[in-house]
Structure 1
Amino acid sequence: MPQFTTSDGLRLTYEDTGSGKPLLCLAGLTRNSREFSFFTPYANGLRVFTMDYRGRGDSDFDPDYRNYSVPREAQDVIELLDHLKLDRVSILGTSRGGLIAMTLAAIRPERLSAVILNDVGPVIEPSAIGRIMDYVGKAPAATTLEQAAFALKQAMEPQFPGVSIETWRKQAAFQYEETGTGLRLRYDPALRTALQEQIAAGPPADLWPLFEALNLLPTGVIRGANSDLLSAETLAEMHQHHARLISAEVPDRGHVPFLDEPQSITVIRKVLDLI
């Protein structure tokens, strides 16, 4: 994978494929560029960029875990755009990636053409935060990718009914690396410490002003119908704050849709057609 060096000296990796309108895909909290492999077969006419945040995927771990934060990761995005000599880009942001996109809309709106949020909004349900803290930074009990795939299928079946074991095999390989002593996380376990300290610092910030910064941009929201992070009530309120918001719910999906679903592709295309 190609790479660039951030202003504080970390080597971050990214991918650049296809041609057409530029679309930057930003992954979830513990995930990496690989998760967009479900979407890329449907990306005709798009120049798709993905990046591994600091401490994720093939990018360098940060020796200071406190830099695993949305503001620093938003700055990394701007530095990637500068490296690529891209004045503006649309963002497809999954979960954490959506928070980064909203932050950029507030602080650097001139660099954005459009934003699509994948199962995230200005209200993060507390139950989802608890679920995330149950696993983040912890090695899985499974010791092989095959075991991890079946564990994922069993754990996620209530929110993702009917998803094939082959899909979960791919997801397991995106999340873990098989070694001689078990599975290794494809991210820095110190991310857990960063989150713990951020949670302990006080109540979460009001994210509605960040979402309202999207009002001048074509904006879409994809919600998994079974999501525990983005509620149906929050999505309805988002429509009240953004009159031109394009959205869809994806049946039989929780947090987060894979982005290969017809409803997801439709939202992405409708938003990008507006630029």
Structure 2
Amino acid sequence: MKHTHRPGTLPRTPEDPSAPLSPGTHTITVPHGPARVALRYHVAGSGPVCLAHSGGPGIGWEYLRMPGLEDSLTMVYVEPVGTGDSGRLPDPRDYTVATYAHFLHAVVQHLNVPRFALLGHSHGGFVAQRYALDHPAQVTALVLYDTSPVADEEFWSAAVAAMERFVKDHVQDHPEVADYAATLTTRLGLLDDDGATAVLRTLMPAYLHDYWGREAEFAPARRTLRMYASPSLGEEPPFDVRDELPLLTPPALVLAGRHDFICGPRWAALLHEGLFKAELTVLEEAGHLAHLEQPARFDACVLAFLQAQGVVRGPRNP
């Protein structure tokens, strides 16, 4: 893989900025079939390495930035293929969980770290599960955040039903939510990137427990969300690793927001029950984005788990 260093929004240090784990934005090129595809990743913080994979598929990585974890960990945020300034796949049907795991492994190989913690959010949790099943010896600990071991027809039907309840609960005070259930089922692959972004920004209040009660806090983040359309065109069977969960040997923390309409406690419990070694934490007063809604609680849960696994050696710095 060829490595280059490109300017990014993250802080950089003058010492060897081209080193794979130097703070900042990096680009590698990854073989994928006959093509070579650019992939960006972003490094921030110091301490043991934790790779983070964002959700979607197709959501820009920036929403997953976790400054509180960067106090204790070297966070490596993958910018998934098909999003942002990472490259696009020649055939959009190839945007599959296996493909994302392939690109994640390319980052791991480039970083040359023998073992690391892995955090996956939502669809990124699918990728994290697949990666840990395929490469268990390299993952010291797994944080499965607002995700599920299955995304079949029942999963999506439950999400639509939960969205319909959200609409019923909020439409009187916020008439704009009336079309949320229909918007949730929009075929993003028929849109361009701006259209997909508009859908995500429209629906953001449903991903939070109390968007309107904290609108001044969350509105700026809503305006910066980005979604890319092509990843939704991936073709693969419904994600389902329930039968493989007992084989997933790295210790896992399963985190879910109590009010997450799409990957809430029901699916977290399914993960927890199926995993060989896992603990479950449900974060109150949080939806699908607990790291934004309850950052102190979220960070404390993750760091306590990683400390118990020997990944983080001491308590979090004040």
Q: How many residues align?
A: 252
Alignment of 1:181-192 (within 5 A): 186-187=227-228, 189-192=229-232
Aligned to 1:181: none
Structure-2 change in CA distance of 1:153 and 1:63 (3 Å)? closer
For 1:80-127, what per-residue CA distance to the aligned partner results, in whole angstroms no more than 9, with x for missing partners? 111111222111110111111110121111121111011012133223
State the TM-score, normalized to the length of structure 2.
Answer: 0.70
Unaligned runs of 5+ in 1: 176-185
| Separation in 2, partners of 1:258, 1:209 | 29
Partner of residue 34, structure 1: 62
The structure-2 alpha-carbon separation of the partners of 1:153 and 1:115, relative to structure 1 and needing over 3 Å to count, comes to closer
Are residues 1:171 and 2:171 paired?
no
- Matched with 2:188 is 136
Question: What is the aligned-residue RMSD (CA, Å)?
Answer: 2.9
Verify the 8 A CA contact 2:142 2:253 in the aligned structure 1.
Answer: yes
Correspondent of 2:243 among 209, 216, 221: 209
For residues 40-119 of structure 1, what are the structure 2 equivalents within 5 Å?
40-119=67-146
Residue ranges of structure 2 left out of the alignment (5+ in a row): 1-24, 161-180, 311-318
Counterpart check, 1:126 vs 2:166? no
Stretch deviating more after TM superposition (83-92 or 122-131): 122-131
Contact 2:146 2:268 survives alignment (8 Å): no
Distance apart, 1:266 and its partner CA? 2.5
CA contact (8 A) 2:51 2:76 kept: yes
Structure ID, larger Rg: 2
Which one of 4, 8, 11 corresponds to residue 38 of structure 2? 11
Map of 1:245 onto structure 2: 278
The code of the aligned residue for 1:168 comes to: A
Cα distance between partner residues in 1 of 2:221 and 2:187: 19
**In structure 1, what is the equivalent of residue 166 of structure 2?**
none
Q: SS where residue 35 of structure 1 aligns?
A: helix
The 1:218/1:271 distance shift into structure 2, 3 A limit, reads farther
TM-score, length-normalised on structure 1? 0.79
Q: Percent identity?
A: 23
SS state of the match for residue 265, structure 1?
helix
Letter in 2 for 1:164: E
Q: Tell me the distance in 1 between the aligned counterparts of 2:85 and 2:197.
A: 22
| Structure 2 residue 288 is the aligned partner of structure 1 residue 255 | yes
| Superposed displacement of residue 25, structure 1 | 0.7
Q: Which residue does the alignment assign to 2:233?
A: 193
